[in-house]
Structure 1
Amino acid sequence: MDVLVVGAGSLGSLLGGLLAREHDVTLVGREPHVGAVREAGLDVVGTEAFTVSPAARTDVPDATDLALVTVKTYDTADAAAALADCSLDACLSLQNGMGNEAQLAAGVDCPVLAGTCTYGARLVEPGRVDFTGRGEVVLGDREGGASALADEVADAFRLGGVEARVDADMPTRLWEKLAVNAAVNAATALARVENGALADSPGDELLAAAARETARVAREHDVGLSDERAVSLAADVVRKTAPNHSSMYQDVERGTRTEVDAINGYVVDHADGAVPVNETLTRLVRTWETGRNLRCSTN
């Protein structure tokens, strides 16, 4: 399969590198990373260590079989615009937050699949990605139901050594992922702590409250996610990824924009009633982003 990875940062580079062992892969990202990959290949270190030589560029080519989108949520509209003139058979979003699939579907002329990914990755330097933890890709029709296309893509992932399975209820799966991200990301970013810090009090209380609020909003949108399952999923992720830094924590460490608007902010914007924990987390992260912008503008 010819695979185009749009958003070759940490996760995109790792998945692209794994798939490049069996498929024709093109990484689309930013310099100097893509330049380093073009010159010397992509080094994967950590859980597995190998070097592959996928194509690497800063723009989208004319055609591909599958576009794997891993850009930050605030870049989804730009990714859709870039893919609009690319001949595609399928597009798969493996992004944080909610609403990405609808934005992509509005811009591309092909089926758009929804997906989640629990693989861990960290971009160490241009041309090198640290494989920090093996996980699973779950994908399916973005509106739910059986999908022969999703089966085909999952088969291609497994051929490349990526654990993948198809889920016929991706709407619920996406809300479950949102509950985990809402419970973990902002709290760890603001406190500057590893995920495992949320396993004990008072972090576990904050985690549970954010997850329960998200589950309630999911039910308001006809998704059957119980409070107990949302809290259990978030607690399980914290236990399994205890030494990891969340993606939002990494954003704050780098001083870059976060995805809070598509995570905790999405919960706030789509709630029928008050969600005070998610609202507070959202406002605090946005306050940090405002301060970062002010600092950047005076330097």
Structure 2
Amino acid sequence: MLNLTIVGRGAIGTLLAARCIEQNIAFQMWWRDAVTTPLSITMKDGKQHQFQQGKGQAPDILILPLKAWQIAPALDEFAEHIPTSCCIALLHNGIGTETLALNAFPDNPLVRLTTNRAAKKQQDTVLETGYGNSQAGWLRTPGDQVKQETEALFNRLLSPCEWHRDIRIPLWNKLAINCVINPLTAIHNIANGGLQSPHYQQLIAQLLDEFLLVAQAEKLTFEKSDLEHNVSQVIAMTAENYSSMHQDIHFKRPTEIDYINGYLLQVAASHGITLTAHQALYAQIRQLESV
């Protein structure tokens, strides 16, 4: 049986732990701080679960459901406990940690995931807030048996989970949505549904136009109509929710802006492309972080 380890005390990590219990999957949790207070979660069906930190057994699969900026220090902290056979799974918003993980762990299988499952955390209590599909793809593929076992595990944990030959496609699809919703809701201090106002439509269109310029330079093909539909759909379906970046600004936490609009700006610069609208949002979020 694979030894599954979930890193951190975040909402999605806690949700994964609850899914392990529901699916009868053995697991342990590694927390990155000295806190010993148990974590609890209430699922959408009303079931409740509680967790403690694990005993530190060497993992076969290490899932990092963290903020993007937490990935590097977490990998560094646990490096001596990660055998070369261990499959490392990156699960976070934005893009930009993949190369870091590939370089830091040149012999390990690596998988990249993104999910639309949702949960929110207040202190030591997590509430599951939404179901959704998940996307996955290999950054470095293991042997056939480990590959099949790992894919089967994530198919259970994050059902429905779709596997992609090129994980960049779903990651960039989600990046387009996050580049719009996250910074705008944080800057204007509104719930996601506030972006349905006509006031924001011209800017949203400009942000997507700029996104398409960079995607095309990267030889990734997207239709603007599809991106507009995806953004509008997410705004409507999560109208009462506050984005993660909004919450980070509200609670004076670091944001993932460097891995969302910042990542897009970095790629754009490598192609000599200027993104006026995204640069403005990036600067405004940086200003809010410093307040």
TM-score (norm 2): 0.87
Q: Is residue 275 of structure 2 the alignment partner of residue 275 of structure 1?
A: yes
1:72-91 paired onto structure 2 within 5 Å: 72-85=67-80, 86-87=82-83, 88-91=85-88
**How far 1:102 sits from its partner (Å)?**
1.6
Aligned partner of 2:20 in structure 1 is: 19
Percent identical among aligned pairs is 25
Secondary structure of 1:5's match?
A: strand
**How far 1:130 sits from its partner (Å)?**
0.6
**Cα gap change, 1:152/1:140 in structure 2, threshold over 3 Å: closer, same or farther?**
farther
**Cα gap change, 1:20/1:208 in structure 2, threshold over 3 Å: closer, same or farther?**
farther
Aligned partner of 1:113 in structure 2 is: 111
**How far 1:55 sits from its partner (Å)?**
4.5
Report the Cα distance in structure 1 between the residues aligned to 2:113 and 2:156, rounded to whole angstroms.
Answer: 18
**Deviation string, structure 1 residues 107-135 (Cα, Å, up to 9, x no partner):** 23411111111111111231x21101111
TM-score (norm 1): 0.85
> Which sections of structure 2, spanning at least 5 residues, go unmatched?
none
Aligned partner of 1:259 in structure 2 is: 256
**Root-mean-square deviation (Å):** 2.4
**Cα gap change, 1:161/1:94 in structure 2, threshold over 3 Å: closer, same or farther?**
closer
Q: Is residue 153 of structure 2 the alignment partner of residue 152 of structure 1?
A: no
Q: Which runs of 4+ in 1 moved over 4 A?
A: 147-151
**Deviation string, structure 1 residues 91-110 (Cα, Å, up to 9, x no partner):** 11111111212212222341
What amino acid is aligned across from residue 95 of structure 1 in structure 2?
H
What amino acid is aligned across from residue 56 of structure 2 in structure 1?
P
Report the Cα distance in structure 2 between the residues aligned to 1:154 and 1:49, rounded to whole angstroms.
Answer: 28
Secondary structure of 1:20's match?
A: helix
**How far 1:191 sits from its partner (Å)?**
0.9
**Cα gap change, 1:199/1:18 in structure 2, threshold over 3 Å: closer, same or farther?**
same
Q: Is residue 5 of structure 2 the alignment partner of residue 4 of structure 1?
A: yes
Q: In 1, are the aligned partners of 2:7 and 2:65 still within 8 Å (CA)?
A: yes
What amino acid is aligned across from residue 67 of structure 2 in structure 1?
K
Equivalent residues, number: 281
Aligned partner of 1:182 in structure 2 is: 179
**How far 1:89 sits from its partner (Å)?**
2.7
